[in-house]
Structure 1
């Protein structure tokens, strides 16, 4: 049985988790071009070695990050997302984003 340690709920069977993809730092939401956003969302390195990934404990809907070696499939550590995300970012739509209505 493969186990994964959730920072909130402790060690659990891997079947209780959903993989959320590799973590990628988000570009500056006010400066990024459409191409930079597309690359952030759709293009991933998929590199062999140690990567940081999103995981969700399905029963509690708790999202966290795991550092995993993709070659050996060994989980090196798991940690709450607030270790990376220190502040909240509000995305306030501009009139151009909403399609200016008259």
Structure 2
């Protein structure tokens, strides 16, 4: 499987380490009203989707960047690859950093 790295171009998947669901970038507010329940769900209740899924991949054998890869779990077709730092900047948690 090839991952089209946004900075380096196509790279073999063996250069990367799969690190799970990219929705984990949206960590719950630890001071929120239902923080205990929210963190329980965040840590233990995971989806196992059939179809498009956003995943975190770490370029361990390259530039050591974090990527958010959108991949079809049935066909392994990759439809989008974005630097995780760009995804984080666009989340509400980091609104002050995004321009």
Cα root mean square deviation, aligned: 2.0
Pick the structure with more helix per residue.
2
2:27 is matched with: 26
**TM-score, with structure 1 as normaliser:** 0.74
2:87 is matched with: 84
2:46 is matched with: 44
Q: Any gaps of 5 or more consecutive residues in structure 1?
A: 89-102
**TM-score, with structure 2 as normaliser:** 0.76
Q: CA deviation at 1:42?
A: 2.3
Larger Rg over CA atoms: 1
Q: CA deviation at 1:52?
A: 0.5
Q: How many equivalent residue pairs? A: 88
Moved more, 2-11 or 13-22: 2-11
> Which of 56, 59, 80 does residue 58 from structure 2 map onto?
56
1:3 is matched with: 2
Q: Any gaps of 5 or more consecutive residues in structure 2?
A: none
SS in 2 for 1:84: helix
1:92 is matched with: none
Name segments (4+ residues, structure 1) moved above 2 Å. none
